[in-house]
Amino acid sequence: MIEATTRALAMLLVAVLMAGAVAGCKSGGDDDRDKAGGSEEPKVLRLAVADNPEGPDAPFARYFARRVAALSDGSLKVRVVWDAAGQSTPGYELGIARLVREGDFELGWMGARAWDRAGIKSFQALQAPFLISDYGLLGRIVTGALADRMLAGLNGHGIVGLGLVPEHLRYVFGVRAPLSSLGDFAGARIRVRPSQASDMLIRALGAKPVHISADDVADAVAGGKIDGAEASLRLGTNNREEGENHLTVNLPLFPKTLTLFAGDDAYDQLDSGQRELIRRAAKETAAYAAAHPPSERALIRDFCSVGPPVNAVAATAGDLEAFDGAARPVYEQLEKDPETKALIARISALKSTSSMPPVAVPPAACTQTARKLTGPKRSPSIVNGTYHWHITWPDARAAMRAVGGPAVRDEDIGTIGKMTLRDGKFRMGDEDPEASSGTYRIVGKRLVFQSRGTTQTFAYTRDADRTIRLKPIPPMSPGDAAVMAGGPWRYVGPPVRDIP
């Protein structure tokens, strides 16, 4: 009896152990699959991007993230963080480098122009004045051996360079008038993104580089603190607040190029396969961006058709030659660094074998220049008063057509305009006086309004009952023309409101 019981217990114990062994084998199989990436959570690399998700480089940052996920079959992912260092200071781009170097982010994405402020000069050849003036040449640089040479300059600084990504060419814009000759630059205050090479060029052209954050641009324009800016030619550039209203179409200063990089520690924590993978994704991103350059013709068309009145001019051959001569000291300074000198020589050799695209020609309506005012200056007090007018569709349509724009109905049709004029200052509307105020003057038979870097000129007549009738003089935004000249201004009394 005891022996039977003992045998039964032994058999039961064996069964339990075998079941456990089988379960253990199954469990071990699942663990192996997890380690191979079957159900394990993907490794996430955070990419700190200097600018916002609406910027022209944003599609390429997203493309890089997609390629990393695709090449790794989802085991490695990139999470893009926009405005990672904020933009409250002019030198925000170097904040990205600091965040990556200190381990707050594994990857970084910022303008190559900023590295020279950290003592890294291997990208300064990209900022050489007027050297890289077309997207074909820029594409050959970022997808070839030159990119690797430049990125190698990050070694030893807590950073591992992964790729160079092309963005837009940078042009010069004037706030109140074009900057198309050395005389125009003399003494002008030009907003530039912080870069030693960029500052050298602006000074060589006789102007003063100004570093201000994006948050402060509108106030700087309104206060007359800047006369121009270097910026990309893109939809939305010509906005009233930033004052980039006068473009010199054949004077690309240099390109904006993005650096894609990893922190040393984060890179070391990747295995060899993952390192190769992100390098491959970086190169594919550079090639993708190079294969999809922006259309300068389309960008200029957008610049000319969206926003306030703008002006696009071409510098003369003589002025271009003068610009080249003025920039020679910049080359002399840059080429004191042997590697930068060698890179400039290589880029120049590439340029000599590149076919230059024709300069994009702006639409005829965009090349208008403000008409010179003739006639005696008259006291602005002769039109002092408070005026109201009803904006009608017939008058608004005529005003829009007078400045060469399409006649389009908008929400202002049918509303009442209100204006206070007093001794050369005006206030328009009932709300937000800071954004709706400025100065005015009278020259001959012209009434000229100036506000936040924009000038609007009207031919005017004044009836015996003090009614003012305006005819807009181009260049002018069709929308502004419609509002200001959308009906006769009826005099309703003296100027009683305060004007900032």
Two tokens at 174?
Answer: 């004037």
Quick check: 310 and 247 in contact, CB under 8 A?
A: yes
* Residue 359: predicted pLDDT: 66
What Å distances lie between residue 473 and 344, 372, 404, 440, CA to CA? 47, 11, 10, 15
* Residue 311: predicted pLDDT: 78
150 and 270 assigned to the same domain: yes
331 and 222 assigned to the same domain: yes
CB contact set of 328 (below 8 Å; sequence gap of 6+): none
319 and 446 assigned to the same domain: no
* Residue 443: predicted pLDDT: 92
393 and 287 assigned to the same domain: no
Q: What is the rounded CA–CA span in Å between residue 126 and residue 233?
A: 18
H or E segment to which residue 94 belongs: helix 92-101
Long-range contact pairs involving 8-15 (C-beta distance under 8 Å, separation at least 24): none
What Å distances lie between residue 118 and 81, 94, 264, CA to CA? 23, 8, 17
92 and 221 assigned to the same domain: yes
316 and 397 assigned to the same domain: no
HSE-up of 478 (CA within 13 Å, CB side)? 19
182 and 145 assigned to the same domain: yes
358 and 302 assigned to the same domain: yes
345 and 412 assigned to the same domain: no
In single-letter form, the type of residue at position 239 comes to N
- The C-alpha angle with vertex 249 and arms to 244 and 254, in degrees rounded to 5, equals 85
* Residue 371: predicted pLDDT: 55
Render pLDDT for 310-368 as a digit per residue (tens, 0 to 9).
778 888 889 999 999 999 999 999 999 999 999 999 999 999 998 776 666 776 667 65
* Residue 384: predicted pLDDT: 97
What residue has token string 């550079």? 286
Count how many domains the chain has: 2
372 falls within a domain: no
- Which stretches of the chain drop beneath a pLDDT of 50? 1-38, 235-236, 370, 433-434
11 falls within a domain: no
Q: What is the rounded CA–CA span in Å between residue 18 and residue 28?
A: 15
25 falls within a domain: no
Q: What is the rounded CA–CA span in Å between residue 476 and residue 482?
A: 10
9 falls within a domain: no
* Residue 29: predicted pLDDT: 34
462 and 485 assigned to the same domain: yes
DSSP state of 489: B
12 falls within a domain: no
Q: Is the peptide bond before 475 cis (omega within 30 degrees of 0)?
A: yes
Three-state DSSP at 395 gives helix
* Residue 372: predicted pLDDT: 59
324 and 386 assigned to the same domain: no
Residue 393's domain spans which residues?
Answer: 377-493
* Residue 9: predicted pLDDT: 38
5 falls within a domain: no
* Residue 303: predicted pLDDT: 76
What Å distances lie between residue 447 and 115, 249, 490, CA to CA? 49, 30, 16
27 falls within a domain: no
**Of the residues 365, 391, 426, which one is the last residue of a structural domain?**
365
**Of the residues 365, 395, 425, which one is the last residue of a structural domain?**
365
* Residue 186: predicted pLDDT: 93
Phi–psi pair at 448, nearest 5 degrees = -115, 120
Considering the entire predicted model, what is its pTM? 0.69
395 and 340 assigned to the same domain: no
**Of the residues 330, 365, 400, which one is the last residue of a structural domain?**
365
In single-letter form, the type of residue at position 240 comes to R
Domain harbouring 174, CATH code: 3.40.190.170
